[in-house]
Amino acid sequence: MSPAAQTTTTDTPPGPIAGGNAGMDSEYLQIRNLAVQFDGFRAVDGVDLTLMQGDLRFLIGPNGAGKTTIIDAITGLVKATGSIQKSGVEVVGKKVHQIARLGIGRTFQTASVFEELTVLQNLDIAAGAGRSVWTMLRRRPAQIPDDILEVLETIGLADHRETKAGVLAHGQKQWLEIGMLLVQNASVLLLDEPVAGMSGEEREETGQLLRRIGGERTVVVVEHDMDFMRSFATSVSVLARGKVIAEGSVAQVQANPKVQEVYLGTAAAVGSAPVGSADADASAEKE
Ligand SMILES: Nc1ncnc2c1ncn2[C@@H]1O[C@H](COP(=O)(O)OP(=O)(O)OP(=O)(O)O)[C@@H](O)[C@H]1O
């Protein structure tokens, strides 16, 4: 069953809304004055972001704006300065595995699943602790832990749990990768171009999946697909040359002259062109 087909009317957590939906006790990510340099080049240059649980935040901006580097900095893959706090705990300076243990997970532009293993085995490995491959292989379906069964339903792959990941459709691989973060109990999910290369139907289903998981988590989506952003973002931060140049609702950023300038230079453009398109990049370079 596809994720989109699984929306329930009872016990459905509140969906994402701008500013978050979980009140004072919610998880959050607070980024202050974040900077990343590569040989003196400031790829990320003094970025502040406040990301609340229940706010489905999109990070957009032309190619090279620094979006992926911000995700790399949050997850410890590149050295950064400044502060990144996850619910009060400082992340900058911690190692990749320590950051993952804090509940911060990410996906990559190309899905990184174990192609030779089944969907269930991939989720089992991601869930990790104490589950040997042997236990996993001998286990009967009834013994699948509840948390993994729930995630299989959430990502729409319950009927594919014995399918090898390598033969899944492109979209299903991305959903599996998101599922691998969910079984690790990641409360902050950083998704790098999750719908790149997907069909229209897969995009819609992915958006619905993000809505379902985004109500209870902090979800940040780096995306070039403007239609997808308009359909599912509850808030948007726009980056250009390593800096946040605008932030707000979809309507607010689309109406922002700085954003229009970074893209094609007209109001119509930011409403229609995919960000990062050749025209948009040419325009950004002319600034
Ligand atoms: N490891 C690296 N070494 C040197 N420069 C890098 C490295 N990683 C990224 N950069 C540079 O940093 C800048 C920001 O790159 P980044 O990938 O974060 O941009 P982006 O906004 O994610 O772009 P895109 O939308 O094209 O993925 C670019 O100029 C890029 O060339």
248 lines ligand 1 (CB under 6 A): no
- From the list 213, 130, 203, 129, the residue with the least C-alpha distance to 178 is 213
Could you read off the pLDDT of 109-153 as tens digits, one per residue?
A: 777 899 999 999 999 888 874 455 566 555 555 578 888 999 999
**Predicted interface score ipTM higher than 0.95:** yes
Overall residue count recorded for the chain in this entry = 287
Residue 66 Cα to ligand 1 middle (Å): 6
What stretches of the chain adopt beta strand conformation (E)?
28-38, 41-52, 56-60, 81-86, 89-90, 104-107, 188-192, 218-222, 235-240, 243-248
Q: How many CB atoms lie within 10 A of CB 18?
A: 18
For ligand 1, atom 3: residue with the closest CA: 38
59 lines ligand 1 (CB under 6 A): no
- From the list 110, 96, 119, 108, the residue with the least C-alpha distance to 179 is 119
The rounded distance, in Å, linking the Cα atoms of 223 and 62 is 10
The rounded distance, in Å, linking the Cα atoms of 181 and 170 is 18
Ligand 1: which of 37, 38, 70, 74 to mutate, most ligand atoms within 8 Å of CB?
38
Could you read off the pLDDT of 224-257 as tens digits, one per residue?
A: 899 999 999 999 999 999 999 999 999 999 999 9
Pairing relationship of beta strands 218-222 and 188-192 according to DSSP bridges: parallel
CA 78 to ligand 1: nearest atom = 1
